[in-house]
Amino acid sequence: MDYKVISEIYNEFDYTTSIKPIVNKENVVSTFKFKCPPEKPKSDKDGDLIVSRKSKENFRIIQIEHSRCTDLDLVGLQMWRGSLLLADWLISNADKFPKDSYILELSGGVGFTAIVASMYYPVICTDVEKGDLFQLLNSNIKRNQHLVKNQIHILNFDFFTQIIPNFVVENFDKISVILAAEVIYDDELTDAFIKTVEHILNVSSSEKVVYLTFERRYVFTIEDCDSVAPCFEHFLRQIHSSKLCYQEVPIDFPQYFQYDRIKQMVFCKLSLRK
């Protein structure tokens, strides 16, 4: 029997608005306000700094249509804390990668992280086409055209088949960053995700890593007489028995979006063992 799941972030802040949804009348439209860091000073042809006029606070807003509550197999229709954390990291590291490279996102959900990434780089956003997901993706991209500065390619990619889309294979050499948020919540999906990451990193002709964010969700069990995080523990066991190397990334970079950056958040990078 399916049971309903609701993202924890909705209990912490009210992001919802009176804006009408487009894809599904049962959805809500949320707004996420943020302020990007100032651009680095530019120089003229003689090497002198170009002094820019001070401007007022330049806040930006992302509008996202999403489901408020779903079955477990449709949680990609909601917004999750890991996407907000990943977006903060992207903004903080926006100048670290070649400008003509692609960002590849695995399990992109309703498109929040892809929209943020597209402010700086072309994006390949992948997920499984089920429910209203791809309609939501396209609709949310159109809602935020004022932020989208580079093309977002939307592709179907199922971890359980591990068939890498042709466009991804053809552009492997141009992919500088691989991202995923909140895919560690179901053991079978975790197993498929790990195998998919191994496959992608093996196929690539250059050394790459996958940046992954998710929340350790604790439950109290009679068996353990304690609070445990079973999905996280299963993930670690599978990583240790795989060809992947797990390394946690500090989350001390600036926070641009409003959410609780709780201690249960995990930010890690996965690479092939040498």
DSSP string, 161-176: T----HHHHHTGGGEE
In a domain, 40, yes or no: no
In this prediction, residues 148-171 reach a mean pLDDT of 96
Q: Are the beta carbons of 65 and 22 closer than 8 angstroms?
A: yes
Q: Is 35 within the bounds of a domain?
A: no
| Structure confidence by residue, pLDDT tens digits, 85-140 | 999 999 999 989 888 899 999 999 999 999 999 999 999 999 999 889 999 999 99
| Res 224: pLDDT | 52
Q: How many domains, the chain?
A: 1
Going by pLDDT thresholds of 50, 70 and 90, the confidence category of residue 207 is confident
Domain for residue 20, yes or no? no
For residue 5, tell me if it sits in a domain: no
Whether residue 28 contacts residue 18, with contact meaning beta carbons closer than 8 Å, is answered with: no
At 194, list the tokens.
Answer: 């790990």
pLDDT value at 2 more than 80: no
Mean per-residue pLDDT, 56-85: 92
Examine residue 32 and state whether it is found in any structural domain, yes or no. Answer: no
H helices, E strands: number in the chain = 6, 15
Bigger pLDDT: 56 vs 78 = 78
Range of 169's domain? 73-272
CA 161/CA 169 separation, integer angstroms: 15
Strand-pair category, 226-228 with 219-221: antiparallel
Decide: 173 and 100 in contact? Cβ < 8 Å. Answer: no
- Residue 50: pLDDT band with limits 50, 70, 90: low
According to the model, what pLDDT value does residue 129 have? 92
Q: Is it the case that residue 43 has pLDDT exceeding 60?
A: no
**Is the residue at 53 inside a domain?**
no
Tell me, yes or no, whether 29 lies in a domain.
no
What CATH number corresponds to the domain at position 245? Answer: 3.40.50.150
Does residue 52 lie in a domain region?
A: no
The length of the chain in residues reads 274
Report the chain's mean pLDDT, rounded to a whole number.
90
pLDDT of the residue at 198? 96
pLDDT of residue 229: 86
Q: Return the pLDDT at 26.
A: 95
pLDDT band at 200 (very low <50, low <70, confident <90, very high): very high
Which structure tokens are listed for 90?
A: 């992207």
pTM here is 0.90
39 band by pLDDT with thresholds 50, 70 and 90 = low
Which amino acid belongs to residue 204?
S
pLDDT at 36: 82
